[in-house]
Amino acid sequence: MPLLINRTVAEDNWLTVDKPTELPAGNILVPLEDYLEATEAFSAHSGKVAVEVTPDDDITPLLAEPNRFELIAIHFPDFSEGRGFSFARLLRRAGYTGQLRATGYVTRDRLGYMQRCGFNAFDIPDEHYQTDDVQAFDEITVHYQ
């Protein structure tokens, strides 16, 4: 899973935890829904905790205080899903300054739009990754929005 942060291939310092029953040590990325259900349990975790948003989530609780997270991930289950673009814009508008990471079905041809909505990290599946993907950010050099 190549991870691009600010257009550079980077090491992933976060461990994604799908079923957060037993938490591993270190920094973890957990589903927002689970985090909201058991916020106190997660606050006892020794490492840092980040959340991953899925399209059906209500992100209102995140918007109140987004900077309590160093990383917020937004999951794209397929190529047609578009709610994550608005989530990203809303989080940045709410003042979020941390890493905003696109996860799931992240491919070259949406990187430019994702970046312009506020994403700065992209978790690209191996089977979609090409080393020249980074060029996609500059394919369109001018913008109206």
Give residues in contact with another protein (CB under 8 A). Answer: 55, 79-83, 85-86, 89, 93, 107, 109-110, 112-114, 116-117, 130, 139-145
**In the complex, minimum distance from the CB of residue 66 to another protein, in angstroms, rounded to a whole number:** 15
Is 15 in contact with 139 (CB distance < 8 Å)?
no
Q: Which is nearer to another protein, 70 or 81 (CB)?
A: 81
**In the complex, minimum distance from the CB of residue 112 to another protein, in angstroms, rounded to a whole number:** 7
Integer Cα distance of 51 and 91 in angstroms: 13
What are the DSSP E strand ranges found in the chain?
A: 3-5, 8-10, 15-16, 28-31, 49-53, 71-76, 99-104, 121-123
Q: Which is nearer to another protein, 20 or 123 (CB)?
A: 123
Q: Which is nearer to another protein, 42 or 113 (CB)?
A: 113
**In the complex, minimum distance from the CB of residue 86 to another protein, in angstroms, rounded to a whole number:** 5
The three-state secondary structure class of 102 is: strand
Q: Which is nearer to another protein, 41 or 140 (CB)?
A: 140
**Residue 24 one-letter amino acid:** P
